[in-house]
Chain A
Amino acid sequence: MPELDQISQGIGENVARVDVQEKASGAALFTDDIQFGSNLLHARIKRSPLPHAIIQSIDISQAERLPGVKAVVTGADFAGRIGLYLKDRHIFARDRVRFIGEPVAGVAAISEEIAEKALDLIRVEYEPLQPIFHPLDAIKPDAPLIHPDLGSYEVVNFIFPEPGTNISNHFKIRKGDVERAWAQCTAVVEREYYIPHIQHVPIETHVAVAQVSHLGKITLWSSSQSPFAQRDLIAKTLGFSPSDVRVISPYVGGGFGCKAGVTMEALPIVIAMKAKGFPVKLRLTREEEFYTNFVRQALVIRLKMGCDQAGNLLALENTMYWDGGASTEYGVNITRAGGYSSTGPYDVPNVKTDSYCVYTNNIIGGPYRGFGMSELHTGIEQCVDELADALGMDKVEFRLRNVVQGGDTLATGMTMHPTGIKECIQKVAAAVDWGKTSKSTEPYLKRGKGIAIMWKAPAMPPNPGSSATIKLNEDGTLLLGIGGQEIGQGTFTVMAQLAAATLGVPVKAVRIAKPVDTDYSPYEWQTVASRLTWSMGNAVLAAAQDARRQILAIVAEAWKEDVDDLDILDGVVISRKTEKEIKLKDFAVYGIPKENFEGWIGGPIFGRGKFMPTYVTGLDKETGQGKRAVVHYTTGAQAFEIEVDIRTGKLHVLRAAAAFDVGKAINPELVRAQMEGGLIQGLSSALFEQMIFKEGTMQNPNFVDYRIATTVDLPDEMMTFIVEVPQDDGPFGARGVGEHPMVPTVAGIANAIQDALGIRMQGPPFTAEKILLTLQSQEEKKG
């Protein structure tokens, strides 16, 4: 086995993205770009106009008779339930509808226009039920049940639904004795925040094309973070074997979580089952993208935190009510992640946490970059600021004193690994000249600074697997097979770097086998949780080491040398002893002839590798205690300097700084690109974004009324810092950072607003209007 430092060539280098040429020329293929010819059918979905109702009848007879219509399906055709952690959803609604936008019937026709027309011909009779739009209403004892059959649903063993209520998961931590601890606290803050629904807003909306053969074999082309999970979930729901379903997934035009698991992809499949042989495409409109798919669920968070005179955190009580929406099949695990990380990155001896996933008749909550952590830290990090203020202590100092360190026992009982969070805090604080006030040019412009820190673990089942293959080509290049998806984060490039460095070839000699295809690509659980660099990276490393072993064994035999004297440099096998050389392309497929034509050595080289964490343990249902709750935590910090125009309430970011401990930056520029993109997405959610609902109907499903950050919202200056405290089981020490950069942003901005204006709001977005109103009401209170 080669030593890591020998083979780390190219690691830590800013290699150009391997997908960049395709993407800069328009040649990169996305799902909607695949040409299916004139037999392509177009699917449209009839959706529930009511938030909660019994379906009395559906009449599809007129729609079926419309010329050009090839298939009409309803929930009556498919009984199975689908879901990642809790099977609580039908592909098409059956007995009742639970949110506005829920699929009720689907049509495939020879054109979108005809499909739309057919939708109008479908008659659905509903008997309205009382809807519930707020999680605090849904937990009332007399609240109507949204899922009366909750007790009969299939669920994984680490999620705890409470049948007979609207609570689909209740995660608890009981550590120490909070009640006793409050008495010892010098300062205690108690706050409630509301974090509204927001949407992922990938610029590419969801799109999937399904084809069902006359023998019933299913092929799905989808823009997906989870081809393998889709195959598995959809097959099981429809009563197939996963290997009867093939999912092909080309480039993804942004995911951020909304293209994980299964959302709309089963719809064209079940429609295609009634139009065998035809490819059936469903592409969501922007409006549908907003209100019919996964969103980031809203959260009510109640926090009580206390510390002693010296500023040591003593106790934390955290009660979270997640607005899971009409289905919580994925959301139940966000509740769990929020629960086991509920202290934020702090060492707190006494903890009481209750994290509830609550059914409502709102849109379905799903994974969103950060998986609950942005929402959680929005609360924690504001409370921490208030505690520091109560003691008159510097906020950076307060954090440094309490922040989690390697060796600490976490709230779940797990022992923390080494982490660079202190360095992250110091870096961002220095970058914004923490502690110094800066003067604005005008009296109506008020400046302030804010800091916020974070942690996040990959939230997933205990055993999500990765695998990789490496096939050497005749020309000495290698084809790297992976099942993880390129969704913009740069994973194809990082994997190419890992393979190249380990094997001893230049990065440009690595081709990624794409599109990801569940029939040909090695297994990968999902492209989520910032887990690929670490998990899939380990599999790629193993595959490259396997291929390397095979290569060296062939050459050693041919040259009658010891493998230990051989190395691979730049695609050439060399002997350090005899100084012989042979290029990979000269034998990678055909082998090496023995002397005197006495036969051959070798044959096609094919490396394989896998990785699966095997050490994550369960947590006790009543106390949340266990040996190892998660694989690891990535930590980080952000600091901001802002300026607010008190005449208009408009906020402008002067300086933004971000620092994250990534263990090892395989490609530093790609890490920085994540830090910047995440920061702006976080800023967008802090300042602008909120899905506005009226009786369950979204009022702003377009980019005019749901504004996201654009070029003009950029901070004047954005600074990024990479901290590297290695991960013991990461490839070259790396851990993931895809989601983390937007986690502390809302809290950091909120803290800066407080510093500038002396106001706090109950939750984001901190729009100009809201800032102005809060300022005015504060004036009135004073006046």
Chain B
Amino acid sequence: MADQIVQMTVNGRLEQYRIPQHMTLLRFLREMLALTGTKNGCEAGECGACTVLLNGEPVNSCLVLAVECDGATVETVEGLTERGALAALQQTFMEENAIQCGFCTPGMLISAYALLQRSPHPSDQEIKEALVGNLCRCTGYERIVKAVRQAAQA
């Protein structure tokens, strides 16, 4: 399968990549850039574990082809952590014990971050709706919703 040359800014760094045409953004991040904080839970757009920011919007990276991201800006949990964007949420997720196995956590954090970007003071209902695509089998969600609420108030 043919490769394609793509320019992409990943976590603030613009680079040129040679990417197989069929490769998803999820696989590109994990397998070519070793950004393994972005998780693979289904590769079908149904679990949210692979959520990243693409041009500032949360997307399931398993549904996006990496070559479609030519000229795009991608941010993952690693980059967002480094630039401090997730600090408030990470703090409340820790305080509220909203993390158990942690596999859903990066995706949750990014969906929650995107919500707070567009709606700084969401209602509980808004929080729940924003996170409905992020599955968590461990926590029962209550603490996650609470952590997002707390971060919004912080």
Instruction: Tell me the A residues contacting B by CB distance below 8 Å.
Output: 16-17, 19-30, 32-33, 35, 113, 200-205, 251-256, 283, 285-286, 487-490, 669-670, 672-673, 676-681, 702-704, 708-712, 714, 718
Contacts and interface: CB of A to CB of B under 8 A. Distances in A.
Given A32-B36, A711-B127, A25 B81 contact: yes
B102 A253 contact: yes
B99 A714 contact: no
B43 A24 contact: no
B141 A20 contact: no
Given A702-B46, A712-B129, A26 B78 contact: yes
Given A488-B100, A711-B131, 6 more contacts: A20-B93, A26-B105, A256-B137, A283-B40, A711-B134, A714-B140
B97 interface: yes
A711 B128 contact: yes
B15 interface: no
A286 B94 contact: no
Contacts of A19: 102
B39 A253 contact: yes
29 contacts: A23-B99, A23-B101, A24-B105, A25-B78, A25-B90, A26-B36, A26-B106, A32-B36, A204-B103, A205-B41, A253-B39, A253-B102, A254-B100, A254-B101, A286-B42, A286-B47, A670-B97, A678-B140, A681-B140, A703-B135, A709-B141, A710-B133, A710-B135, A711-B127, A711-B131, A711-B132, A711-B145, A712-B129, A712-B132
B25 to A, nearest CB: 16
A487 B102 CA distance: 9
Main secondary structure of the interface of A (DSSP, over half): loop
A23 B41 contact: no
A203 B133 CA distance: 13
Given A25-B78, A32-B40, A711-B127, A204 B90 contact: no
Contact of B94 (A16, A29, A33, A704): A16
Given A20-B94, A25-B81, A718-B142, A677 B76 contact: no
Contacts of A672: 97
Contacts of A28: 102
Contacts of B154: none
B121 interface: no
A202 B42 CA distance: 11
A256 B103 CA distance: 14
Contacts of B132: 710-712
Contacts of A252: 101
Interface in B88-145: 90, 93-95, 97, 99-106, 109, 127-129, 131-145
Chain B CB within 10 A, most for which of A201, A253, A255, A672: A253
Contacts of B34: 35
Contacts of B100: 254, 488-490, 673, 677
B101 A204 contact: yes
Interface string B30-45: 1000111111111110
B141 A24 contact: no
Contacts of A24: 81, 86, 90, 93-94, 99, 102, 105, 109
Main secondary structure of the interface of B (DSSP, over half): loop
Given A677-B100, A677-B139, A25 B41 contact: no
A252 B103 CA distance: 8
B46 A711 contact: no
B85 to A, nearest CB: 12
B49 interface: yes
A700 B105 CA distance: 26
A17 B140 contact: no
Contact of B46 (A678, A679, A703): A703
B54 interface: no
A23 B47 CA distance: 18
Contacts of B99: 17, 20, 23-24
A61 to B, nearest CB: 26
B77 interface: yes
B35 to A, nearest CB: 8
A88 to B, nearest CB: 29
A681 B138 CA distance: 8
A283 B100 CA distance: 22
Given A26-B76, A285-B43, A673-B143, A681 B137 contact: yes
Contacts of A678: 140
Q: Which 7 A-B pairs have the closest CB atoms?
A: A26-B37, A23-B102, A488-B101, A253-B103, A680-B140, A488-B100, A26-B77
A110 B94 CA distance: 40
Chain B CB within 10 A, most for which of A22, A32, A286: A286
Given A24-B94, A253-B39, A712 B128 contact: yes
B137 A17 contact: no
Contact of A714 (B46, B77, B109, B142): B142
Given A20-B94, A254-B101, A718-B142, A202 B137 contact: yes
A342 to B, nearest CB: 28
Contacts of B105: 23-24, 26
Contacts of B143: 673, 676
B152 to A, nearest CB: 15
Contacts of B94: 16-17, 20-21, 24
Contacts of A20: 93-94, 99
B139 A673 contact: yes
